[in-house]
A and B are shown apart, each in its own frame.
Chain A
Amino acid sequence: NAGVTQTPKFRVLKTGQSMTLLCAQDMNHEYMYWYRQDPGMGLRLIHYSVGEGTTAKGEVPDGYNVSRLKKQNFLLGLESAAPSQTSVYFCASSFGGPQHFGDGTRLSIL
């Protein structure tokens, strides 16, 4: 049982480059989330989705876009990466209660 899978695990980008982080879950969860975690800041919600075809802004959505074309996948896009987006990104999914996390993507923007 894979649970929540994130790809890639690590990435280094140059300022201004774009990329997409992929999150896949095999638990048939309705809800999916993208967080970033920075030292001393805890987990902060970027965007989330309450079902296929829906997305909503979280606490820190600026500079990111998301899509949920299929129930099992939730994509996080950075259109023009900035050094302030250097962080660890976690995807999570749930039925509405406790959330299950992927093992994270470590992203560095130079």
Chain B
Amino acid sequence: RKEVEQDPGPFNVPEGATVAFNCTYSNSASQSFFWYRQDCRKEPKLLMSVYSSGNEDGRFTAQLNRASQYISLLIRDSKLSDSATYLCVVNRPGANNLFFGTGTRLTVIP
């Protein structure tokens, strides 16, 4: 079983739509969770950390469900510039390493 699993997509949505991505992780002892964004042929960049109580950054909302080992990212009012691959990232317990999901590809259509 993979450490982090994501639906690869692609998700094709019109501008202004709301879209949600989900991710599951296998190790219940993981404590740190992140969403990264990766544009085509570019490096991954931190989008936001995910906190137990859920957190919001502008149009982006991240939630964590520890009981189900499930992380989500909600994007409201999608922009063309949101088109990218979104990586779900979970720490490896007991080590300063991260596990990266294979990513969910989003295309926002005019």
Contact = CB atoms under 8 A, between A and B. Distances in A.
B43 A90 contact: yes
Contact of A98 (B34, B97, B101): B34
Interface stretch (B15-23, B44-52, B53-61): B44-52
A74 interface: no
A103 B34 CA distance: 19
A104 B44 CA distance: 10
Contacts of B69: none
A42 B89 CA distance: 11
B100 interface: yes
Contact of A42 (B32, B42, B103): B103
Contacts of B102: 40-42
Interface stretch (A13-21, A43-51, A76-84): A43-51
B96 interface: yes
A42 B101 contact: yes
A90 B42 CA distance: 10
A43 B44 contact: yes
B108 interface: no
18 contacts: A41-B102, A42-B87, A42-B103, A43-B44, A43-B100, A45-B97, A50-B96, A90-B44, A96-B96, A97-B49, A98-B34, A98-B49, A99-B46, A101-B44, A102-B43, A103-B42, A103-B43, A104-B43
